[in-house]
Amino acid sequence: MNKKWYGTTLVALLLSGVAQAQRSAPALEEIVVTAEKKAASLQDTPISLSAFNSEDIEKFGISNLADIQFTVPNMAMRQFPNSQSSLRVFIRGIGNNDVQITQDPAVGVYIDGIYVSRSSGLANKIVDPERIEVLRGPQGTLYGRNATGGAINIVPRAPSGEFGWKQSLTLGNYDRLEVQTDIDFPEIVSGLSAKLGYVFSERDGWVENLGEGPDFGDERKQGARLALRYDASDSVTVDYAYDYTDNDIGTFYYQTIGEPAAGFEQVTWSEDFIDSVEPRHPIKESGLRVRGHSLIVGWDVNDAMNVKSLSGYRDMNEWIYQDYGANANTDRLFANDPFVTAHRQFSQEFQITGSALDDQLSYLAGIYYFEESGSEHTTDYIALAAETLTGPLPLPISSFVEPVEESLQTRTTWAENEASAIFGQVTYSPVQLDSRWHFTVGIRQTEDTRYVRGSRRNGFWGVVFGGEDFDNVDAESDYSNTSPAFTVAWDVTDDLNVYAKYVEGYRTGGYTGRGVSSQSLTTPIGEEQVANTELGIKSEWFDRRLRVNAALFDSAYDDIQLSFATQGNPADVVVFNAGKASITGFETDLTLLVTHDLMLTMNYARLDANVEEVINPNTGANEAEGYALPSAPESSYMVDLTYTPYLWGTVSLLANINYSWRDSQWPAANASVINDAEIADYGLLNARLGVRDMAAFGGLMSVALWGKNLTDEEYQLDIIGAFPWSTRVGAFGEPASYGLDVSLQF
């Protein structure tokens, strides 16, 4: 069956709606964003940008950050293999395939303007969001931390000073239960208001564990956010927020998809989704704890100038058990037992925004300081292709000269990072050109210092370094970069804006935090650089009933950080600046108000990522043929139809159906070289049907039935091709799920 017929069906519904549309239909609502650090219409912002308000979050069923990937052109996300709470984020083919603490992400994530440097916890429920904005392309002259792929800004709802209470309950299959409470307190004392949000959710995994321990994909999560706002005067506002995350989870099941290699014939495998397994070893529970503080002080110096201070602190502890080859017939093939990460970060940013020359000139300037430190520790269990009476030979194995406890394969890495930057941009809109032309110049200067040290013990290969004194196993590197940005925008009419821009971005260097040898650990990685040229259009048509935004871009991606095995030791994988690629693409968002109550939303993205150079550091040869940028499907699209008629009084219907599709993609840059480990194309059909704002219990009640992956598509979240027992080990996504949402708001 051609799964793209869903999109055709929705387009047919559009055509029937157009035939019935009335000329008096209302216009599309204006979308206000703060991507340029000031409130502005999305249509007037010369950035390739997607924004979601609270209604969008409800109708698309966005419960965590991973859910937005199907509604944003040229965005892809995958959970990290050994952590259900961590996300690998890619925009326009640029992102991170690893989340080690010795490298920076390529896509910056911000919560209310505060940078979140590590991806652990990004897959959690978002507590009471007001808006989510996704900026595509390099970002450096607007945000504190530089990003080569793009930026995601999560804007939580601020205290209003007036009483409000929303209580939500979700029930669904896999014993899904979610309870969310949001309370907006009345003004406590003059100028001081508070808001509290709390969410608890639990769900069984979609792969049943018939042995000991949790199901694969099990989750029990809770999160809270306390926000305080103090209006110290008419011109000074102080915002403080504290957020907390507490997760207990079972990791995803990585089943063996490809036929086992010689020596591993007993390994259970299947190309089709396995919904239950009985591992020989017990599966242990994993967990995550995150705490965050932010303090934002804003001062309106006068009508034309604002000064803001943004201070942020976060700490995180995560412990993970993952068995990548769990089955009933063999011992642990590769398992982390445990994988422990500890991390803390602090950032301080000062911004000045304003205008001059009778609003012909607008500006933003900022200085930024950031520091972080963290550690990773893991004990690995590895099976060799050597038969024993019970199957392949497991590691750790005892040494002839050391007791067993001294010969475990362990890896410990400590890392520190310190960064500072000065950035800004100026936009000039001369009255001589009717203020319809806007010329923007921006620049960013960044300085980074990275430090790493480590300890390794490997009972089989005999690689031992480090210990208590860490002699000769630490290193420090400095990085510096200047990135410019230029934009020319033209308001052709009040409803049609076009822009052209050139912007450079860079991702700082780092270290191979999981290198087995001391040389691989302490060899620095250089910075990546991206130069992006873009043409864009923001337009509204037919009395603002049709909105079409599109961008055409070309990116030169240089010094890409790629992984290679060192000669003589295939377990020692080192990251080098070995790659060069060109990326061209197109993305468009379309919104059409078909009738008063019927809205069509569509997006389409095309990506042509060509890896031009991959220099193998061991041989000096160019091995670009067969390499591909990971998480970069050639085509992807989403079609969404929403029907919201009023039934009576304040009561309205919400009927939503959407279908998203993405072409095949590579899970790793070298997957096509090692083996044919490609994630196949797939499409997901979701729907929601509910009634909103019914008077009940002195408030307004909403009830909705929803379903995700309604066709029960078997699709893969991830594939790993680097394990010795099979060329294809991967995790499947959630099968068909459905549930009931009930909320009561006062």
The span from the CA of 98 to the CA of 630, in Å, is: 11
What is the residue whose two structure tokens read 């900026």?
A: 135
Higher per-residue confidence, 542 vs 13: 542
**pLDDT tens by residue, 302-321:** 999 999 999 999 999 999 99
Does the residue 361 lie in any domain? yes
Exposure of 384 by Cβ count < 10 A (0-12 exposed, 13-18 middle, 19+ buried)? middle
In this structure, is residue 223 part of a structural domain?
no
Whole-number Å distance between alpha carbons of 408 and 457: 7
pLDDT for residue 471: 58
**Residue 582: is it exposed, middle or buried by C-beta count within 10 angstroms (0-12/13-18/19+)?**
middle
Task: Please check whether residue 650 is in contact with residue 693, taking contact to mean a CB–CB distance below 8 angstroms.
Answer: yes
**pLDDT digits 0-9 by tens, 641-657:** 999 999 998 899 999 99
For residue 592, which of 578, 581, 602, 579 has the smallest C-alpha distance?
602
- Residue 129: pLDDT band (50, 70, 90) is confident
Residue 324 lies in a domain: yes
- With cut-offs at 50, 70 and 90, classify the pLDDT of residue 392: low
pLDDT per residue over 172-184, tens digit each? 999 999 999 999 9
pLDDT tens across 75-115, in order?
Answer: 998 877 777 778 889 999 998 877 788 989 899 999 999 99
Q: Tell whether 199 is covered by a domain.
A: no
Look at the chain and report how many structural domains it folds into: 1
166: β partners: 182, 745
Helix (H) or strand (E) holding 9: helix 5-20
Q: Residues 6 or more apart from 583 whose CB is under 8 A from it?
A: 92, 93, 94, 553, 554, 555, 557, 607, 608, 609, 610, 629, 632
Output the six-digit token pair for 236. 């000074």
Which are the contacts of 675, defined by CB distance < 8 A and separation ≥ 6? 258, 721, 727, 728
pLDDT in tens, 328-383: 888 788 888 888 999 999 999 999 999 999 989 999 999 999 999 999 998 888 77
Long-range contact set of residues 460-464: C-beta below 8 Å, sequence gap at least 24? 460/382, 460/384, 460/395, 460/396, 460/397, 460/409, 461/516, 461/569, 461/571, 463/516, 463/517, 463/569, 463/572
pLDDT of 397 > 70? The answer is no
Q: Long-range contacts for 403-406 (Cβ within 8 Å, ≥24 apart)? A: 406/457
Q: Alpha-carbon torsion 414, 383, 98, 243, what sign? A: negative
Q: Which domain holds residue 500?
A: 5-157+254-270+307-745
Higher pLDDT, 10 or 645: 645
| 203 lies in some domain | no
Cα–Cα distance between 484 and 445 in angstroms, integer? Answer: 9
Four-residue CA torsion sign, 388, 390, 394, 396: negative
How far apart CA 383 and CA 460 sit, in angstroms, is: 11
Rounded to whole angstroms, the Cα distance separating 547 from 586 reads 17
Contact 137, 553 (CB under 8 A): yes
End-to-end CA distance of the chain: 47
How distant, in Å, are the alpha carbons of 59, 173, 295, 449 from that of 736? 18, 9, 42, 47
Q: What is the pLDDT of residue 403?
A: 35
User: Which of 642, 605, 628 lies closest to 50, judged by CA?
Assistant: 605
Q: How far is it, in rounded angstroms, from Cα 562 to Cα 668? A: 10
H or E element, residue 231: strand 219-231
What are 254's two structure tokens?
């990585």
Q: What values do phi and psi take at 8, rounded to 5?
A: -65, -40
Q: What is the CATH number of the domain that holds 437?
A: 2.40.170.20
pLDDT tens string 202-246 = 999 999 999 999 999 999 999 999 999 999 999 999 999 999 999
Name the phi and psi angles at 481, rounded to 5. -155, 145
Phi, psi dihedral angles at 364 (to 5 degrees)? -145, 135
Domain membership of residue 185 (yes or no) is no
pLDDT at 23: 42
Q: Is residue 294 part of a domain?
A: no
Which residues lie closer than 8 Å to 114 by C-beta, 6 or more apart?
A: 292, 294, 310, 312, 347
Lowest mean pLDDT among 21-25, 240-244, 511-515, 717-721: 21-25
**φ and ψ of 13, to 5 deg:** -60, -40
Could you identify the residue written with the tokens 């009576």? 648
Alpha helices in 500-577 (DSSP H): 518-522
Lowest mean pLDDT of 532-546, 606-620, 707-721, name the range: 606-620
Query: Is there a domain that residue 131 lies in?
Result: yes
Largest Cα separation within the chain, whole Å, is 87
**Two structure tokens written together for 189:** 């004392």
